[in-house]
Each structure stands twice: as structure tokens, then as C-alpha cells.
């Protein structure tokens, strides 16, 4: 087993911040037995050494896209801009029509998209479209 001791001017495989992949780098400085700054042989960028392996493990997790980002956008455009003072508090016994603005204890402000007979309404809340029971 040969432990590669980095030397200035030597080459090392490192994660390049510009190329966004592990490339050959020339060691520019050595800090505490590890490469300090390195120069990418591909893009010639000089940056702090990042080992390809640790870069792989520290790769940001796939951030789950909000499932319904367009719903949120639409909500912000069409619902949040309404006068919330005119919102009707949601009640299971209430009667609503398409276009009514509701204020719901859990979901907040919502816009009635349609009435689903006999006793439901489809409401556009910020977190999505919900079907709520209402007075039939």
C-alpha cells in the first residue's frame, strides 16, 4: 500500500469546484500533510483541495421539489392577493360557491374552485387543493 503524500507540484485527484467533478489537480500548497490549495489541470482554477470522496458524500441530498409548486404559485397569485378580510371562516355546515374566499383553521386562506355535489367543495389552499365537507 502506498500512501500518497502530497507534495507541492505533485498531482492529486480532487473535486474541482468549477468542473464539478473529480479531476487531476496540481498541488499548490500542502497543509498538515494534506493538499491545501490545488490547481485544476482542466480549467486551471485554483481552489481549496476537496477530496473526491468527501465531495461525493457531502453532495447535497436530492431536495424533494415541492410536489405542487405551481399550485403554490397560483395560490400566491390568485388567492394571497385577495382581501383576506373578506374571507369566510370555513365551517363544515357552511355553504360555499366557486370563487368564495375561505379561511380555514389549519390550511389558512383558500379559494373555492368548485362545488362538488352533494356536500363537498374543492378549495385551493397554499399547500394544495383540498376537498372539504360543507353543508349540503
Q: Does 18 bind Zn ion (CB under 5 A)?
A: yes
3-state SS, residue 14: strand
Among 42, 46, 88, 98, binds Zn ion (CB under 5 A): 42
Q: Please, which residues have CB within 8 angstroms of residue 130's CB and are 6 or more apart in sequence?
A: 107, 110, 122, 123
Among 7, 8, 34, 43, binds Zn ion (CB under 5 A): 43
Q: Which stretch binds Zn ion (CB under 5 A): 10-18, 49-57, 80-88, 103-111?
A: 10-18
Of 52-91, binders to Zn ion (CB under 5 A) are none
Alpha carbon distance 117, 129 (integer Å): 17
Q: Which stretch binds Zn ion (CB under 5 A): 38-46, 49-57, 68-76, 101-109?
A: 38-46
Q: Which stretch binds Zn ion (CB under 5 A): 1-9, 19-27, 53-61, 94-102?
A: 19-27
Return the closest-CA partner of residue 27 out of 2, 50, 58: 50
C-alpha distances out from residue 62 to 31, 65, 78, 83, 84, Å: 32, 9, 30, 37, 36
Could you tell me how many residues of this chain bind Zn ion (CB under 5 A)?
Answer: 6
Binding site for Zn ion (CB under 5 A): 16, 18-19, 40, 42-43
Amino acid at each position: 500500500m502506498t500512501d500518497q503524500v502530497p507534495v507541492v507540484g505533485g498531482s492529486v485527484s480532487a473535486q474541482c469546484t468549477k468542473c464539478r467533478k473529480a479531476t487531476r489537480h496540481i498541488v499548490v500548497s500542502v497543509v498538515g500533510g494534506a493538499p491545501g490549495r490545488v490547481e485544476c489541470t482542466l480549467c486551471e482554477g485554483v481552489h481549496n483541495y476537496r477530496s473526491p470522496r468527501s465531495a461525493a458524500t457531502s453532495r447535497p441530498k436530492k431536495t424533494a421539489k415541492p410536489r405542487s409548486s405551481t399550485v403554490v404559485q397560483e395560490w400566491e397569485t390568485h388567492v394571497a392577493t385577495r382581501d383576506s378580510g373578506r374571507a369566510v371562516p370555513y365551517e363544515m355546515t357552511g355553504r360555499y360557491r366557486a370563487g368564495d374566499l375561505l379561511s380555514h383553521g389549519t390550511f389558512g386562506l383558500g379559494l373555492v374552485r368548485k362545488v362538488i355535489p352533494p356536500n363537498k367543495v374543492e378549495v385551493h389552499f397554499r399547500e394544495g387543493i383540498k376537498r372539504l365537507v360543507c353543508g349540503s
